[in-house]
Chains A and B, each alone.
Chain A
Amino acid sequence: MSAPLLSVEDLRVSFPTPTGRVEVVKGLSFDLGRERLGIVGESGSGKSMTGRAILRLVRAPGRVAAKRMEFEGTEIQSLPERRMRDLRGARISMIMQDPKFSLNPVMTVGRQIAEALQAHERLGRRATRERVLEMLEAVRINDPERVASMYPHEISGGMGQRVMIAMMLIPRPSLLIADEPTSALDVSVQAQVLDLIDELVRDHGMGLILISHDLNLVSRYCDRIMVMNAGRVVESCAASELHRAQHPYTQGLLAAVPRMHETRPTLPVLDRSQWSGT
């Protein structure tokens, strides 16, 4: 494998509570090449915070610390905010969860996409517009001209998420973080959106971090999987090796996945006493 795109060592994210600081990410380490990494975990396992920490978007009073956090060989923790802004969107981008809340309600879709491009590239009006329409087409929007002039409340959730993808990929980043990109969508459009992300990531040779709570989905779209629980990585393996998982948490999760044509009368639930869990 070539030099990693992103290299994280001992990442810790903590928040103050009345009873002292609580770490929600406790010493996460991983290397990511131009591959697809899935981070799986339940609510509160720290998976979303990991994504935001990489973009340095954990808001105060949250605090991020890591021994090393290098993107394309540059330590990003010590970057001044200006340089970090140049990185955001342009080099590392993130698809947010719910298009209903993550698109600005009073700005047209086209302007929001154009803005993502203009933040990093100096282009004329016409060139910008062309790139926006091109990008909308790339995310399979049929009538890009019309959609570009619409407001977020006028489009469906699936379309909103495709607009989101267009917005985040238009400056051609090399790392894409997708934070639960389909959990707000209907099951019928989930696969469409994920296939689209998958295709664009492969075509552009980007790295992908897919954050999800859905083990099945992650194993289908990723090369490698990290299972998180209570801020720690409990399992890290190739997606194809998942069935040989060692950790009781992962085994428990896998056992609880319903299968087609199965005859088990009851699905097992997680027995949290098996690991030093919560």
Chain B
Amino acid sequence: MPAVPRSSTLPALALRRVRRFAAPVLGFVALTALTFLGLLAITFFIGRVVPIDPVLAVVGDRATQEQYEAARQAMGLDRALVVQFADYVWQVLQGDLGRSVSTNRPVVEDLARVFPATLEMATIGIAIGVALGVPMGVWAAARQGSWTDQVIRVLALLGYSVPAFWLGLVGLAVFYAGLGWVAGPGRIDIFYDGIVPPVTGLLLVDSLIAGDTGIFMNALSHIALPAAILGFFSLAYIARMTRSFMLDQLSQEYVTTARVKGLSEWRVVWIHAFGPIRVPLITVIGLSYAGLLEGSVMIETVFSWPGIGNYLTVALLNADMNAVLGATLVIGAVFIFINRISDVLYRVLDPRSR
């Protein structure tokens, strides 16, 4: 260790320490901000390029030329694009995404209502996918060629090829209409609707905060089926990827080394072979989570789920540009956020990337 120079007094050392930890954090923030600005630019220009006239959407097609021009000026669409973009960024930063034409409410309010619905379902879905998919993939790889491997592979293939809406309808027919194990479409039964004060927007969490187990159980029985179906799809993908990553690792030399050392098969598989695949797995899990958070339009439609996928589809069909851009922005932000978290996890899990 190099001797500490005399000049480095305590404050100097403290400063160096702060710098060492502050630099990555600042870099992280700057990179995130830059990516977000890029996202804003893309949504903004998409909004300008699509062949939908936002003015016409407001004034209707029977407006006179004067009315049209007045509305256009009022909306600020006659200004230079750069000015409009700066204005857009400024508005977004203030949390203003404009007003939705179809719901006649601020888009931010709409999103605060629909996004938690999707978040709730996607989170349970990905939790199921990870909790079952990863062990299944590892298990299949460790017993490559056995009947367990075959069963898992067929399951994964089904998850790839079965259409979501079909599985949703069959699921409803069997578990709701037939067996009555779960509740039907929607987030909650109508007589429970709007009782618990929205804190997080997640019904399961809000009902627990309010201490109402009746509502919690009702919400749970509503979310169980669609979340399980999403879980099945992500399970299929995650299990498949885990299996192929593991097969690759199991043929590596250091896995043989671990066996030579006389370690148990459990340690060989879960500590030695699994260790290095955590990084690529994070990518896979992150991307499927982001994909679920985008809102599965099929599932949300079949289950009348008031989520962001449904909201975005309705907005698109109504040429509701503010809503479309707002929802796109949220989805983009979700991707950025998940990517940033993955990056942090890479560093924690892989010493080579530090």
A98: which B residues are within 8 A, CB to CB? 253
B272 lies within 8 A of chain A by Cβ: yes
Q: In the complex, identify which listed stretch (B24-32, B127-135, B258-266, B298-306) lies at the interface while the others stay far away.
A: B258-266
Determine which of A81, A87, A106, A168 lies in contact with B349 in the assembled complex, contact meaning CB atoms within 8 Å: A106
B254 lies within 8 A of chain A by Cβ: yes
Residue pair B261, A119 in contact (C-beta under 8 Å): yes
B350: which A residues are within 8 A, CB to CB? 106
Determine which of A57, A101, A107, A120 lies in contact with B260 in the assembled complex, contact meaning CB atoms within 8 Å: A57
B256 lies within 8 A of chain A by Cβ: yes
Residue pair A57, B253 in contact (C-beta under 8 Å): no
B258: which A residues are within 8 A, CB to CB? 104
State A96–B252 Cα separation when bound (angstroms).
12
Residue pair A57, B259 in contact (C-beta under 8 Å): yes
State A93–B261 Cα separation when bound (angstroms).
7
Residue pair B260, A89 in contact (C-beta under 8 Å): yes
A97 lies within 8 A of chain B by Cβ: yes
Residue pair A119, B263 in contact (C-beta under 8 Å): yes
A90: which B residues are within 8 A, CB to CB? 262
State how many angstroms separate the Cβ of A271 from the closest Cβ of chain B.
35
Residue pair B352, A96 in contact (C-beta under 8 Å): no
- Given A101-B253, A102-B256, A105-B276, A167-B351 contact (CB < 8 Å): no
A97: which B residues are within 8 A, CB to CB? 253
A88 lies within 8 A of chain B by Cβ: yes
B38: which A residues are within 8 A, CB to CB? none
State how many angstroms separate the Cβ of A106 from the closest Cβ of chain B.
5
State A151–B265 Cα separation when bound (angstroms).
23
- Given A106-B275, A107-B275, A120-B262 contact (CB < 8 Å): yes
State how many angstroms separate the Cβ of B272 from the closest Cβ of chain A.
6
Residue pair A106, B351 in contact (C-beta under 8 Å): yes
A57: which B residues are within 8 A, CB to CB? 256, 259-260
State A102–B278 Cα separation when bound (angstroms).
19
Residue pair B253, A89 in contact (C-beta under 8 Å): no
State how many angstroms separate the Cβ of A135 from the closest Cβ of chain B.
13
B67: which A residues are within 8 A, CB to CB? none
Q: Mark B128-159, 1 if CB is under 8 A from A, else 0.
A: 00000000000000000000000000000000
State A96–B260 Cα separation when bound (angstroms).
9
State A57–B265 Cα separation when bound (angstroms).
12
B73 lies within 8 A of chain A by Cβ: no
- Given A96-B253, A98-B253, A105-B262 contact (CB < 8 Å): no
Closest CB pairs A-B (n = 4): A89-B262, A88-B262, A101-B253, A89-B261
Provide a sorted-by-A list of 13 A–B residue pairs whose CB atoms are within 8 angstroms: A57-B256, A85-B262, A88-B260, A96-B253, A96-B260, A102-B253, A102-B257, A104-B258, A105-B352, A106-B350, A115-B263, A119-B262, A168-B261
